[in-house]
Amino acid sequence: MNGFFSGFPPARDWFYGVRTFAASMIALYIALLMQMPRPYWAMATVYIVSSPFVGPTSSKALYRAVGTFLGAAAAVLFVPMFVQSPYVLVVVIALWTGTLLFLSMHLRTANNYALMLAGYTLPLIALPVVNNPLAVWDVAEARTEEIFLGIAVAAVVGAMFWPRRLAPVFNDSVSKWFADASIYSARFLDRNVQPEEVSALRSSMVATFNTLELMIGQLPHEGARPQTVRNTKELRGRMIHLLPVIDALDDALYALERRTPELVDKFAPLLAAATEWLEHQEADIERWQALKDQLEALQPSPEVLDDRKQLLFSNAIYRLGEWVDLWQDCRSLQHAIECESQDSWRAVYRHWRLGRLTPFLDRGLMLYSAASTVVAIIVASVLWILLGWTDGGAAVILAAVACSFFASMDDPAPQIYRFFFWTAMSVVFASLYLFLVLPNLHDFPMLVLAFAVPFICIGTLTVKPQFYLGMLLTLVNTSSFISIQGAYDADFLSFANSNLAGPIGLLFAFVWTLIARPFGAELAAKRLTRFSWRDIVSLTEPATLAEHRRLGIQVLDRLMQHLPRLAMTGQDTGIALREVRVALNLLDLLAYTPRVVGAPQALLQQVVTEVGEYFKDCLKAGERLPAPSPLLMTLDRTRRALDTECEEGTRLNLLHALSGLRLALLPGVEFVGSGELEEPLPHGIDGAPL
């Protein structure tokens, strides 16, 4: 409730509250006029489907319709088949809900709603009719019709009266990401890195990025042009690269400052030019080209890269060039999206690892979440059967709904408790309306007036993210608990018996979740770390270039899931970035290794093998181990074996990949010493030599 009275909602939020209330009353009136058995379902559906924006409203309407139809069809199929065996029916319902829940967690766009809804629609329809299975068709038909009515009314009213597009909100979020990313980049370019500020900026960038990812899936539903949608996806693909690219640049600059201080002054004009270029928000291709020319002019020739100091200098220029190209692409895409340009966009940051999104999915936790939901439904149903509670099916229904809603969260218990609290409040509100207000109403206009003030005020608050869940539950549950029908018929004992079951079911779901899922974000973060190590180990196995490309995208996608969890648990987010860089540099080594022959190729393969063995040891130990000295010596030996006889571009990419790999494995350490191979010195906590 923090911030509940902190400010007065703006006029557009009030308009949304009035518009949604009007749509709900229209849906209720039509349902009453058509003599539908449960008109309140149409009323509640309007609030569930409605959104201030056209895109989310359209997508929720479409996928709710699909999910409702699938769930109703399943009820018609399964209830007559298994009603004679209650325990078998319970297991079938639980497995249906859990299976579709598991499938829905594989989707990160709006269409996951259809599968999740189809999952818990079956118990919504099936459980109330177990004592009268012949009514399953009528109930399924009624729910489908009434929900379709609510969907249609919500979509039409939302499209007719002041429809708001999501695109401006998307552009504002993109601008926020750029504001944070500009400051973040500037701190590293100025060499003024404050750990607390950088960590906060990194968290803000990741949070904004994850919000943008959800919005991208909604844009096609509000009629965004195909090229604009493609541009948003391209922007996502480049945003995800920025953090590891800047981290690699920081390490390269740190190594340059520590190992070759005499070359720092030579590099300083490049940083100053890059900082000045960063301040310009437009994507001027000529400015970019001028900066690239300046970088190329200082890039050492391939012949001198045998010198360790020159390689350090070259690596710093290479990493700075990667960031410049990446930032230019991001800015040009931002401009194209804001202008809704339909011209084909051309990239300047072209890397072989760029490809279509390959989402990372922790199927183990997903399966566990779905399985815990299945078991929760079975246990709740068995308790209902054993107790012989006539209206106890409502408890099972809301337990299934709550477990499904929050299954993808690391720690769903607090949200389920909020679900319980606002549902219990809805019972109170519904009882006040049912026994104090409705007996004094005689026609529909009076009913509208009775609902208007509280429903409009609460509906207005649903616009705010911090109030959305509680206020929506209040509206939907209050509408359902009142159970408005064609004629007033209320009995207190019947009301209490049927509507107290819901909060009891939610309380059961809360306690069950505390028992079944006590681990929270700590376990998720630990698992993501181990997945990172396993991916690095898997690189020692033969694979195609396309498979490596998918792995590279998956590694970056997992990073966006890993960083927030590390921040929540108070862990160092920089370590996750280093492990991502290890994987990316290994992928670059593997991509270019086939282009060399003889001893260099064998040594490159040895590097990959030894890195894999190192992370295999980390997996066995269950903790990060110091990088072994033989691995660092192999890296140095491999660097020297890449002579000038290799193709120029191949040699340059391999040298930079080796340098980046070493820096990622052991920060602050680079190629030092004489031309002879020597064992690395011991290192302090910060990775620098003692």
pLDDT value of position 391: 81
pLDDT value of position 683: 35
**Structure tokens given for 414:** 């607090």
Taking 50 as the pLDDT cut, the residues of the chain under it are 1-5, 668-690
382 touches 90 (CB < 8 A): yes
* CB-count exposure of residue 628 (10 Å: 0-12, 13-18, 19+): middle
What does the DSSP 8-state code read for residue 680? P
pLDDT value of position 685: 30
* CB-count exposure of residue 348 (10 Å: 0-12, 13-18, 19+): middle
pLDDT value of position 437: 87
Which CA distances in Å does 159 have to 48, 60, 595?
16, 14, 57
pLDDT value of position 676: 36
399 touches 505 (CB < 8 A): yes
Whole-prediction pTM: 0.90
pLDDT value of position 487: 59
**C-alpha triplet 643, 647, 650: angle, nearest 5°:** 90
Report the alpha-carbon distance of residue 636 to residue 659 in Å, rounded.
Answer: 9
**C-alpha triplet 560, 565, 568: angle, nearest 5°:** 135
